[in-house]
Amino acid sequence: MSIKGSAVDFLSRVAASGPWRSTLEKVLVSLAHKYPTSRTVLSFCRHFGSKLAVREGPGFSRLAVFETDGVMFCEEKNLGYYFCGTITGLHIDEQCIVQLMRRLVREGDVFFDLGANFGYYSCLLVPLCGKSGAVHAFEANPYLIPNLIRSAELNHKNGNIYVNAVAIGKDSETFLPLYDPEWIGCSSLYPHDWLNRVSKVLVPVTTVDKYVQEKCIKRIDVMKIDIEGAELDALLGMKDTFCVCPPKVIICELTLLPEENDPLRHSPGVLRRASSAADPRRLVDFLKRKGYGLWAIGEDGRFSTWTEGKLTAAEPLKLANAAFVLPELQRLRPEIFAAR
């Protein structure tokens, strides 16, 4: 541990052991909500939180309260949501998605959360969807389901969250291995080289089509897909949904790779990622054929023009969140599109 890390650890131990710990905890939560990307603040949160968990024992938990009044049940493994009030303190690109969601989602809307993880977006948006709307959360990792169910129960007063302990793919009524389920947020149906492929668990798989049909769903306003390389599979399992109730907005993470003739493209890490991740060009082509336009998500939380042809990156690997939007939305909701 570095000198700075040792100092933070020592101060956190002192803060968590004294009679002032409750006051200091409130101060730290306030600071982390205000500066969610500060490494120093995050370091204090991590160390202080671990000391609190040790002090309070097995029953340790907190409730994260988000700016929409949504709440999330937090234990030590997801305590960052409690302190920071956001999906992560380091990925600044996620902050613009949060702002977009707050502008976009309204009372009565239906939100599909594919790859819900601990349920941050589900919990954040359920008050905005309200009692007349609904959030449908899908999570394959069995380690996350108890926490997700607890959070859904806590949001009953805010609206409707339906937790589905299944993976979303291109085929239904099957089981597939989920690799490295202990690595929260990175486990995948694909055996990526960076995962522990020895550690795996069989999980049920269904399609969006089957779910929509069984639940008699008539509308999907917003869909977020974050399923570690299986994004195109999920879309392939939406053939009927695109005809019956196509999502107005699909937000999806794209893996941008260097051009084919770029030497960086042929480094071992990039080749492994390219062979297992969802190909961004295939995703874009598929959704364009379904009538969607490709948009970037601006820092102000509005849809902005995606640079034409920008599906490659100068870096070896780059992740980017993209929005696929039906043209009618620009006419209906011009305020969520940046001026050109």
CB 129 within 8 A of CB 160: yes
Handedness of CA 136, 84, 144, 207 (dihedral sign): positive
Q: For 105-128, write each residue's pLDDT tens digit.
A: 999 999 999 999 999 999 999 999
Separation between Cα atoms, residue 68 and residue 81, nearest integer Å: 14
Look at residue 213 and tell me whether its pLDDT is greater than 70. yes
Look at residue 179 and tell me whether its pLDDT is greater than 90. no
Domains of the chain in sequence order: 3-84 (no CATH), 92-336 (3.40.50.150)
What pTM value is reported for the model? 0.89
Q: What is the pLDDT of residue 219?
A: 97
CB 66 within 8 A of CB 85: yes
Look at residue 162 and tell me whether its pLDDT is greater than 80. yes
> Contacts for 51-57 with beta carbons within 8 Å, 24 or more apart?
51/12, 51/13, 51/15, 51/16, 51/17, 52/16, 52/21, 52/25, 53/79, 55/16, 55/17
Bridge partners, residue 178, by sequence: 201
Closest CA to 135 of 121, 147, 146, 148: 121
More confident site: 260 or 223: 223
> Residue 281: exposed, middle, or buried by beta-carbon count in 10 A (0-12, 13-18, 19+)?
exposed
Q: For 50-86, write each residue's pLDDT tens digit.
A: 999 999 998 899 999 999 999 999 999 999 999 999 8
Mean pLDDT of 31-45: 89
Q: For 266-312, write each residue's pLDDT tens digit.
A: 444 444 444 445 678 888 899 999 999 999 999 899 999 886 556 65
Element (H, E) at 319: strand 318-325
Q: For 216-248, write each residue's pLDDT tens digit.
A: 999 999 999 988 778 899 999 999 999 999 999
Look at residue 93 and tell me whether its pLDDT is greater than 70. no
Dihedral through CA 243, CA 245, CA 247, CA 248, nearest 10? Answer: 100
Q: Produce one character per residue of 245-261: b if its CB has 16 or more CB atoms within 10 Å, e if not.
A: bbbbbbbbbbbbbbeee
Q: Residues with Cβ < 8 Å from 331, sequence gap 6 or more?
A: none
